[in-house]
């Protein structure tokens, strides 16, 4: 099978996995990650575009939040072998996919190849900015989390004076446990610069959110 056909098959595999998703891991999320990863790859030093695109396309088909990860990894390995991806590339792709996710920071110490760093950056970029905010509220809605629990002031959150683990789950809590940390976790310069802009937008958004949460009439 030539690489183009392999890519088409991977696209179909991904679509079948994500088609009914309402948790923020839908097909458009995956396609944005492919697009961002491709963009980063063209601006960064040479990297293997086939591995990057394959890993980006398939990255959420083994997420523990969406599926039984162990079964999903075996299924993915069998699929890559069935479409004729070399065992070296398949091992590389699976390693990236297994180690790229945030997992509360647990995966941050794992050294990834240039290709892995690019796909990880792309996935993280899609978790911040306007789209990242939308995905966070979508995820919270899907898993019956509140928008916000009102258990801390914006000032306390901003100054890190809150023990986050003591707050009940909510979309706004997630900004502080993850979204605002991602800017400094980017690997590539290209992603760092995109993240900077998206981070500023989230800060503005949070200001406005809290201003509306408790209405303060002009005096």
Residue among 30, 4, 7 nearest 80 (CA): 7
Asked if 33 and 126 touch (Cβ cutoff 8 Å), the reply is: yes
d(CA 66, CA 69): 8
Which has the closest alpha carbon to 194: 40, 30, 59, 56? 40
Residue 183 lies near ligand ADP (rule: CB under 6 A): no
Q: Is 132 in the site for ligand ADP (CB under 6 A)?
A: yes
CB of 5 to ligand ADP, least distance (A): 28
CA 66 and chain centroid, separation:
13
Considering only residues 10, 41, 58, 171, which one is a binding residue for ligand ADP as defined by CB under 6 A? Answer: 171
Among Ni ion, ligand ADP, none, the one that 11 touches (CB under a kind-dependent 5 to 8 A) is none
Q: How many residues lie near Ni ion (CB under 5 A)?
A: 2
136 binds ligand ADP (CB under 6 A): yes
The answer to whether residues 76 and 58 touch, using CB atoms and an 8 Å cutoff, is yes
Could you say which of 21, 44, 48, 63 contacts ligand ADP (CB under 6 A)?
63
Compute the least distance from the CB of residue 171 to ligand ADP, in Å.
5
Nearer to ligand ADP, 19 or 218 (CB): 19
145 contacts ligand ADP (rule: CB under 6 A)? yes
Name which of residues 90 to 109 contact ligand ADP (CB under 6 A).
101-103
Task: Give 28 or 169: the residue with its C-beta nearer to ligand ADP.
Answer: 169
Contact between 202 and ligand ADP (CB under 6 A)?
no
Candidates 5, 28, 43, 65: give the one binding ligand ADP (CB under 6 A).
65
Residue among 125, 139, 196 at smallest CA distance from 21: 139
CA distance 16 to 202: 32
Residues 114-133 that bind Ni ion (CB under 5 A): 123
119's tokens: 């796909």
Is the separation of the CB atoms in 35 and 179 below 8 Å? no
143 CB-side CA count, 13 A: 15
Residue 95, token pair as written in the block: 């390693």
Residues forming the site for Ni ion (CB under 5 A): 60, 123
Footprint of ligand ADP (CB under 6 A): 24-25, 63, 65, 101-103, 123, 127, 132, 135-136, 139-140, 145, 169, 171, 174, 178
């Amino acid at each position: 099978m030539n690489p183009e056909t392999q890519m088409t098959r991977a696209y179909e595999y991904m679509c079948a996995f994500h088609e009914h998703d309402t948790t923020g891991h839908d097909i458009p999320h995956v396609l944005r990650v492919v697009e961002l990863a491709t963009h980063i790859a063209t601006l960064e030093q040479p990297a293997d575009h086939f591995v990057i695109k394959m890993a980006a396309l398939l990255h959420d088909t083994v997420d523990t939040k969406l599926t039984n990860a162990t079964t999903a990894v075996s299924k993915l390995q069998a699929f890559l072998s069935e479409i004729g991806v070399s065992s070296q590339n398949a091992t590389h792709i699976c390693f990236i996919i297994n180690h790229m996710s945030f997992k509360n920071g647990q995966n941050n110490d794992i050294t990834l190849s240039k290709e892995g760093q690019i796909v990880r950056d792309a996935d993280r970029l899609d978790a911040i900015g306007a789209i990242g905010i939308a995905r966070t509220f979508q995820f919270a809605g899907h898993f019956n989390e509140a928008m916000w629990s009102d258990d801390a002031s914006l000032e306390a959150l901003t100054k890190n004076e809150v023990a986050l683990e003591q707050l009940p789950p909510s979309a706004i809590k997630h900004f502080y446990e993850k979204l605002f940390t991602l800017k400094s976790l980017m690997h590539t310069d290209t992603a760092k610069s995109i993240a900077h802009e998206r981070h500023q937008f989230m800060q503005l958004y949070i200001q406005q959110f809290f201003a509306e949460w408790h209405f303060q009439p002009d005096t």
